[in-house]
Amino acid sequence: MTTLAIPQKMARLPGWIILAVWTAAVLLPLYILVVSCFKTTAEIYDNRLGLPQSWGLDNFVRAWTRADLGHNFINSLIVTGGAVILTIVVSAMAAYPLSRYKLGWNGIMLGLFLSGIMLPIRLASVELFTLMRSLGLLDSLTGLILVYSAIRIPFAVFIFANFMRVLPSELDEAARMDGAGETRILFQIVLPMVKPAVSIVAIFTAIAVWNDFFFPLIFIFDDRYKTVPLAVSVFVGQFRTDWGLVFASLAISMAPILIMYCLLARQIREGVGAGGGMK
Amino acid sequence: MTKFRRTTSLQRTQQRMAVLFILPALAIYGLFVLYPLLMSLWGSFFTWKGLRMQEFAGLANFSRLFVFPSGARLYGALWHNVAWFFGIMLLQNGLGLLFAWLLFLRGRGAAFFQSVFFFPAVLSPVIVGALWRLLLAPGGIVEWALNGLGLHQGSLTVLGNSHTALGMLIAVDAWNWMGLPVLIYTAGLRQISPQVFEAAKLDGAGNARMLYAIALPLLMPALGTLTTLSFINTFNQFDIVYVMQGVQGNPSYATDTLVTYFYRLAFGAEGAVGITDIGLALALGTMLFLVLSIGTLLMLRFFDKRTVEL
């Protein structure tokens, strides 16, 4: 059973070729990106596909310091980390009573949150800009953290509520008998039981926030507070002829996501396949 | 009696705790999402001076949207969004189905290919756009490769040519998100009972026929999810256009979309000296909001009706 007959193998060849072609279509641009990071502009033109002459880090150093990407990188880390933590904490808090108490208004409140999953928030950016200005949250990483959390809360509440709903009711009842307060039940008993939900929310919030470019574009004017995607969008125009530098800045900006993807590819595949919960 | 009182006191505690627990999330979500969105819808019925709301104007902003000079931009951008949507349905969700089917038939190595195909989807559209802008630039590697293969001569200007630019952006978007349909279709295919395929095979159905006659009808929920997501994303398209062609949707507005037009109206760069027109921007936002909401609801209903149960 393990070995297929030769004609059957032959019949499968065109399919394998199709899959291989798309694999190449994905990997080739990324390969070119990686090798170009180590080449000078002249070398990029002379030696298109080959490996670089030397693996010098010159382009990375120049991108990190001269183009000040290091600064943007730290901003992006702060915003992403802050938004992930804030989203998880407030969404888990909201999802706990909504999924496990009998309140009489669970359905309406859950519906209010869930309606936000599909809302085209970019179209509200004028009023959001006015609001942020009057709150003094323009040119502010805190402002970005609050906006991203607000956008990601609906999806996070949805995921947490789904996972918490199926936990046995004896779980919190027993803890309540032992005199545990509701806050302790949530953070010490319920939340550890829904770790998969925490990781789904953390992964997809981190990807969405790290990658976003629209809100920094309208809220951040001061170079000191720019995030990586915004900075890169400027580089592409500004350093147009310095290809090595631009390629290196692209590589730096995708590095954290690449590392995360290599470590968590399975969880990400399953999360998307199950819920289509991205974007 | 005591039991009754204990439950009510528990319920009272729960009501109080629920409010406390829900409040932070509701406050953030309400303040930064619901409030600006409602204010934007409301504001589209007023005249504006800069960022200051003036007086009630009824539907004046909306009627201005459709006539000169806004009309040409609006219809152009709308047409590009519609073309983008059908392009994505064909390129991304069509090819994605083929890839998912091939992976499903093979089984072996599916996880590897899925991971590779999905990788661009975790990258920022800004990074993807910037990368392809470098690759497709005159003097870039695609030009070099096409010249070397004899498929093209001279400088490659696909991004600067108004006949090809939009198609290139749609292809880049499809490259970016190809992994999504592959994952969603594969998850759908795995939910179909294997006996169904075995029975069809015994009846002599080929792979193509099995895909068309058996898998596709059962994949309606997956197709519905993908169509709805593609619709929403297409009509929110901004990042790739901004990075690859600029906020004007160059060349000569050939890649302009509704959201890039909205951005120019709201934050400048539309008109000779970059003057904003908030009234028009909000009217366009309200229109887009209606199109997206109604479109999404219709699509969900359409696919719900066509869902086949076995």
CATH number, domain containing residue A147 = 1.10.3720.10
The structural domain count of chain A equals 2
Cβ <8 Å between A26 and B117:
yes
In a domain, A132, yes or no: yes
Do residues A75 and A24 share a domain?
no
In a domain, B52, yes or no: no
- Count the helices and strands in chain A (H runs, E runs): 14, 0
In a domain, A45, yes or no: yes
Do residues B79 and B15 share a domain?
no
In a domain, B53, yes or no: no
Do residues B118 and B26 share a domain?
no
Which tokens go with A9?
């193998």
- Tally C-beta pairs within 8 A across A and B: 247
In a domain, B310, yes or no: no
Q: State the average pLDDT for chain A.
A: 88
Which tokens go with A46?
């002379």
B16-64 residue pLDDT tens? 899 999 999 999 999 999 999 999 999 999 988 878 888 898 888 999 8
CA gap A181, A167 in Å, rounded: 18
CA gap A158, A153 in Å, rounded: 8
Query: Which residue in chain A is spatially nearest to B119 when comparing CA positions?
Result: A261
Shortest Cα–Cα distance, A90 to chain B (Å): 5
Cis preceding linkage at B69, omega within 30: yes
C-alpha B285: how far from chain center: 16
CA distances to A72, A150, A211, B8, B274 from A216, rounded to whole Å, are 11, 15, 11, 49, 20
Query: Which residue in chain A is spatially nearest to B38 when comparing CA positions?
Result: A124
In a domain, B167, yes or no: yes
For position B116, what pLDDT does the model report?
Answer: 93
Pair A172, A109: CB distance under 8 Å: no
Q: State the average pLDDT for chain B.
A: 88
Do residues B141 and B290 share a domain?
yes
Query: Which residue in chain B is spatially nearest to A115 when comparing CA positions?
Result: B34
Do residues A188 and A170 share a domain?
yes
Which tokens go with A253?
């900006």
Q: How many CB atoms lie within 10 A of CB A1?
A: 3
Do residues B202 and B141 share a domain?
yes
Do residues A182 and A231 share a domain?
yes
Query: Hey, of B29, B149, B287, which one would you mutate to test binding to chain A, going by the most A CBs within 10 A of its CB?
Result: B29
Range list of H helices, A37-68:
41-46, 58-61
In a domain, A254, yes or no: no
Do residues A96 and A43 share a domain?
no
- Chain A positions touching B133 (Cβ under 8 A) are 236
Report the range out of B49-53, B119-123, B159-163, B187-191 with the highest average pLDDT.
B119-123
Q: Bigger pLDDT: B152 or B102?
A: B102
- Whether the predicted pLDDT of A273 surpasses 70: no
Do residues B167 and B288 share a domain?
yes
CA gap B104, B188 in Å, rounded: 10
Mean pLDDT of B10-20: 87
Do residues B249 and B290 share a domain?
yes
Tell me if residue B54 falls in helix, strand or coil: strand
Query: Hey, of A99, A117, A123, A128, which one would you mutate to test binding to chain B, going by the most B CBs within 10 A of its CB?
Result: A123
For position B172, what pLDDT does the model report?
Answer: 96
Do residues B27 and B78 share a domain?
no
For position B48, what pLDDT does the model report?
Answer: 87
Shortest Cα–Cα distance, A170 to chain B (Å): 15
CA gap A225, A237 in Å, rounded: 19
Radius of gyration of chain A (CA): 24
CA gap A129, B39 in Å, rounded: 12
In a domain, B160, yes or no: yes
CA gap A77, A74 in Å, rounded: 5
**What domain range includes position A81?**
68-238
pTM for this structure? 0.90
Q: Is A3 on the interface with B (CB under 8 A)?
A: no
CATH number, domain containing residue B113 = 1.10.3720.10
For position A175, what pLDDT does the model report?
Answer: 87
Query: Which of B40, B95, B127 lies closest to A127 in CB terms?
Result: B40
Pair A60, A208: CB distance under 8 Å: no
Do residues A53 and A78 share a domain?
no
Pair B124, A213: CB distance under 8 Å: yes
- Whether the predicted pLDDT of B273 surpasses 80: no
Do residues B130 and B185 share a domain?
yes
Do residues A47 and A154 share a domain?
no
In a domain, B58, yes or no: no
User: What is the number of alpha carbons within 13 Å of residue B130 lying toward its C-beta?
Assistant: 30
Cβ <8 Å between A233 and B233:
no
In a domain, A275, yes or no: no
Do residues B127 and B206 share a domain?
yes
A121-171 residue pLDDT tens? 888 999 999 999 999 999 999 999 999 999 999 999 999 999 999 998 888
- Beta-bridge mates of residue B52: B49
In a domain, A261, yes or no: no
Do residues B27 and B99 share a domain?
no
In a domain, B61, yes or no: no
Q: Is A42 on the interface with B (CB under 8 A)?
A: no
Cβ <8 Å between A269 and B33:
no
- Report A:204-243 residues touching B (Cβ under 8 A): 207, 210-214, 217-218, 229, 232-233, 235-236, 243
Do residues A133 and A50 share a domain?
no
The structural domain count of chain B equals 2
Shortest Cα–Cα distance, B127 to chain A (Å): 6
Q: Please give the backbone phi and psi of residue A56, each rounded to the nearest 5 degrees, phi first.
A: -70, 150
A7-58 residue pLDDT tens? 677 777 888 999 999 999 999 999 999 998 898 888 887 777 888 888 888 8
Do residues A22 and A109 share a domain?
no
Query: Residue A278's pLDDT band (boundaries 50, 70, 90)?
Result: very low
**What domain range includes position B34?**
1-43
Query: Which of A19, A233, A261 lies closest to B243 in CB terms?
Result: A233
For position A3, what pLDDT does the model report?
Answer: 54
- Whether the predicted pLDDT of B247 surpasses 80: yes
In a domain, B17, yes or no: yes
For position B157, what pLDDT does the model report?
Answer: 83
Which tokens go with B175?
């490259």
In a domain, A16, yes or no: yes
Mean pLDDT of B237-263: 91
For position A279, what pLDDT does the model report?
Answer: 42
Do residues B133 and B174 share a domain?
yes
Residue type at A88 in one-letter notation: I
Q: How many CB atoms lie within 10 A of CB B269?
A: 16
Which tokens go with A29?
């641009």
Do residues A110 and A140 share a domain?
yes
In a domain, A88, yes or no: yes
Q: Please give the backbone phi and psi of residue B49, each rounded to the nearest 5 degrees, phi first.
A: -120, 105
Q: Render B190-229 in DSSP notation, one character per residue.
A: HHS-HHHHHHHHHTT--HHHIIIIIIHHHTHHHHHHHHHH
Do residues A205 and A167 share a domain?
yes
A91-116 residue pLDDT tens? 999 999 999 888 889 899 999 998 88
Do residues A41 and A88 share a domain?
no
Pair A214, B239: CB distance under 8 Å: yes
In a domain, A245, yes or no: no
- Beta-bridge mates of residue B46: B56
Cβ <8 Å between A272 and B144:
no
Among B130, B247, B226, B137, which residue's Cα sits nearest to residue B183? B226
The maximal CA–CA distance of chain B, rounded, in angstroms, is 91
